[in-house]
Amino acid sequence: MKTLTEIVMPKLAESLVSATIDRWLKQPGDMISMYEPICEVITNKVNAEIPSTVEGRLVSILAKDGEDVPVGAPICVIEAIDDTAGASVSAPSSSAVSTASSQSSEDNEQDIPAEGDMRGRYSPAVQRIAAEQGVDLQLVRGTGLGGRVTRKDVLAYAASGQPKATVAAEAVKDATTKTEKAPLRTTGLHLSETPRIPQIEVESEIPGRGEYFIDITPIRNAIARNVKQSVTEIPHAWMMIEVDVTNLVQLRNKLKDEFKKREGVNLTYLAFVLKAVVNAVKDYPIINSTWATDKIIVKRDINISLAVGTEDSVATPVIKNADQKNIAGIAHEIDDLARRGREGKLTLADMSGGTLTVNNTGSFGSILSYPTIVYPQAVNLTFESIVKRPVVINDMIGVRSMANMCLSLDHRILDGVICGRFLQRVKENLESFSLDTKLY
């Protein structure tokens, strides 16, 4: 039985009321499997893929690229070939969205209906792992409900040494080769792949007119909207302090090689900075707050938004409960979020819940910056480039490793006195690191 089914814009997060269509992954006439991504959307938090809730053929597209679609509005029509699937036209929950909630898919695989034979249905997490491992899912025996293949089934099959999918393996190999061959910059941002370039519309040849137009991409439009909201609603003020990080530089140089061998990730200065900031927030909890018109809401959890940039966008994934992690744990979180941010694999869960932002602007050589506050947080703190400078110590001049820290503050909540004390505490924490400091 064939049924026409409308796919609607799902509610990707509690506070989101709409999302912008970035691009369609399928076109009218294409066959679509259950849970297969059909389009990419952009929210004010992160990019996400919208999966199909039915199996069938895409009949028509109702929302064009760049169009902002309210939650619950139809985006396309699919001619379903599964008579049971066509009975429902409701939007998938956020846990069904591939990119936006791949972690939820991994942890809650039993959320998929289990009635009948499920051997031919695969969750986005299972499909992703199978592609990475080069495993043909048709060869894997499922142990889940209805014979469904689970993550553990795929990993067990890959570890057993049984035949794998040649095509899938070659595809992964090709992708890896392309990444390895991609040119990396020697300074600044290191990109895992070449970002998409905005489409350029060149003006007709007119004497004296040396200009051209660049189309505004949906992600750039979302950034513009969010930044405008921040600077319009939040009265910004800012201050700067300089920190002597000579001892920190010596500590990191001592530990970084051993840490890399042991943990498999880089031990960056940012991990120490975040630890210093977290400990300072414990002493000044008002920093960890938001404005709510008739009250100030102070957050108990310290969730640090980490600014991650590529050449065409900036994302702010969140290190949750940063106060409960040691320096080594924070280093792992930084590496994971930064890598997935540059690869465009962050989820809505990764982007939600931040209470203050720290930005490592020194990674691309900045020595002074005025950060924009991430709405509705109260502060944005930048750690600038470490530079050797002559410094007066006990009336003598010495060469020390110095770094600036710049703080933007919501002047409705915070004043210079409290922020000055907070920055002094961050400075004390950073300068207290020594060769005896423990990472664990």
Active site residues: 411, 415
Closest to 278 (Cα-Cα) out of 327, 332, 233, 344: 327
CB count within 10 Å of CB 185 equals 10
Whole-Å CA distances, 388 to 269, 271, 329, 391, 397: 15, 21, 29, 9, 13
Closest to 41 (Cα-Cα) out of 60, 17, 59, 65: 65
Closest to 156 (Cα-Cα) out of 129, 189, 183, 194: 129
Closest to 140 (Cα-Cα) out of 120, 124, 125, 117: 120
Which H or E element spans position 399?
strand 396-410
Closest to 400 (Cα-Cα) out of 270, 250, 245, 276: 245
Could you report how far apart the first and last alpha carbons of the chain are, in Å?
A: 60
CA gap 413, 295 in Å, rounded: 10
CB 30 within 8 Å of CB 71: no
CB 212 within 8 Å of CB 198: no
Burial of 174 (0-12, 13-18, 19+ CB in 10 A): exposed
Q: Tell me which amino acid residue 41 is.
A: V
Closest to 69 (Cα-Cα) out of 12, 4, 3: 12
CB 352 within 8 Å of CB 303: no
